[in-house]
Amino acid sequence: MTFKLKPDQEQKIEDLISQMTLEEKIGQMSQVRHFDDVTPEDIKSKFIGSVIHTQGPVPGSTAAEWQDKFSEFQKQALDTRLKIPLLFGVDAIHGQNTFEGATIFPHNIGLGAAGNPEIVEKAAAITAIECKATGFHWVFSPCVAIPFNEKWGRVYEAFSESTELTSKLTQASVKGHQGSNGNEGVLATAKHFIGDGATDFGVEGGNTSLTKEELIERLLPPYQAAVDSGVASVMASFNTLNEIPMHAHKAMITDLLKDQLKFDGIVVSDWKAYSRFGQNEIINAGIDIVMAVDGDLDGFQEGVKAGVLNGSISEERINDAVRRILRQKFRFGLFENPFPDKGLIQKIGIPEHRAIARQAVRESLVLLKNQNQVLPLKRTSRIVVVGKFADNSGLQSGGWTVNWQGMTENYSGATTILEGIRKFALHEVKYDPDGTAAIEDVDVAVIVVGENPYAEFFGDVGGEMNLFQLTITEEHQKLVQSYSQKGIKIVLVLISGRPIVITPQMELSDAFVAAWLPGSEGDGIAEVLFGFFDFKGKLPHSWPKSVEDFNGKYGPNYWEHSIEPLFPIGFGQCYHQEK
């Protein structure tokens, strides 16, 4: 779907471009951080077009202070000769996850397990409201990658290994974020174009060696779905494609995305792309906005200006970029309403939003085993809850939660799994955080294990940080082993951003639940464990049997592999199997 502005708006864009100096055009293509990189005065003097908020100092302690901070920058932009407003962007990966107290939804892998476009659209619409309430117009979401290897540290940012399911949920996410017209929502961003989840050996930012035919068949459909849904922006990827950096890949960005798919929105770079991936090559390839961060701004602006003056970058390429940027600023109402709406602040984290997030949690849970119908839990049962993950909203939420790499402690407004279980149990619920308590007279142990939070390359298995593995930790393995020796029935709940090898623990448990990264509404898990709601989730990925299954370039979920999974994609039990 090509979004059409009103004729007078298109004319205003052409009038603005005709009046702009080269410096003003390059300024529109510049994206900076609101802290460290620039001062408010720089916004005016360097004609900055957009601002990103991400890890680092926050704009204030309240949403009103965040809005005030961004309004200060906006006033500088509106004090320039042409009065072109700023765009403010944020890494809202699963809710407005940079603001403590916002509603945090399950990460995309959980939404993929739910497989419900309606809940994805509602979650995206709420994310848009809470982002606008904190001063933003633009979110760098959804990630529409197709993961080929669970070793990749961003598996949880993607919906599924299924191209069809990913395409369907991509459409819902774009529609929810952007609304029925631009003024209702925020700019959505389909990312990372293209091949980010299909790199060799699952390396973040590595090389993708797929053929063009494989890429078009498996990876392109979600982008086509996003474009058909009118997505405002697409972010280029850190990976190379057959050794060519995607940021500098003109055949992919201009010829395929812009020309063949008819994408008329903004192609935005990823972090510090100008100095990392070829400087002016990325502009000629089709990048429209550059994250000129961490010291890149002056080099970017001066380098592009020199490129235009020496003829290595055409001014029409610059005009095309500026035209795309201005089109979205008009589309989303920034010229009419450049300042944030104070009235939206009261909607951050409200019960109605959390109810939708809790529904998303319930629908995301996948029941992989339920021996002798140990689930649903009886409210009259004597229960012990085991493991630190059971009472820690930071651990249950994963990366991109308040901080880039997530949190290992509780955060405002969230409920934990233990809180939920205590809410519904009729007897006192015992809690054994590290498995060392003397536990007697209990009927069932709910053991919660999982991966510590991570984001991007920090989560790669065997990557440069080498912090993670394809099994649960030795500490968590001992928790399960210890309780199995007590002869107590075990319900094992796994908090993870990907399918990991849990075959031995599966055998020791009576019931096993894949809970993914549920976000702020941990009590939604308890609602299903007690049977107030049935399990609905289905695996968005096939589930591996053993670590040895990962010896190749791709994981065992790769479509040409003949490795038999422990559970196939689409598997999931429920309490009432006749359903």
List residues with catalytic annotation.
270, 456
Which helix (H) or strand (E) segment is 33 a member of? strand 30-33
Q: Judging by DSSP bridges, how do beta strands 50-53 and 138-139 pair with one another?
A: unpaired
Q: Which of helix, strand or coil describes residue 89?
A: strand
Do 429 and 421 form a contact (C-beta atoms < 8 A)?
Answer: yes
Angstrom distance (rounded) from CA 96 to CA 534: 28
Do 200 and 240 form a contact (C-beta atoms < 8 A)?
Answer: no
Q: Which residues contact 175 (CB under 8 A, 6 or more apart)?
A: 121, 124, 229
As beta bridge partners, residue 35 has none
DSSP 8-state class, residue 258: I
Q: Which residues contact 15 (CB under 8 A, 6 or more apart)?
A: none
Q: Which residues contact 129 (CB under 8 A, 6 or more apart)?
A: 344, 347, 353
Do 558 and 199 form a contact (C-beta atoms < 8 A)?
Answer: no
Do 199 and 239 form a contact (C-beta atoms < 8 A)?
Answer: yes
Task: Strand 289-291: give its sheet, edge to edge.
Answer: 138-139, 87-90, 50-53, 30-33, 289-291, 266-271, 233-236, 189-193
Structure tokens, 519:
């976000």
Phi, psi of 104 (to 5 degrees): -110, 120
Angstrom distance (rounded) from CA 469 to CA 506: 17
Structure tokens, 214:
């494989």
- Give burial (CB, 10 Å; 0-12/13-18/19+) of 81: exposed
Q: Which residues contact 352 (CB under 8 A, 6 or more apart)?
A: none
The per-residue DSSP string of 361-397 comes to HHHH-EEEEEGGG--SPPTTS-EEEESGGGG-HHHHH
Nearest CA among 416, 418, 467, 473 for reference residue 449: 473
Angstrom distance (rounded) from CA 131 to CA 55: 16
Angstrom distance (rounded) from CA 356 to CA 354: 5
Rg over CA atoms, the chain: 24
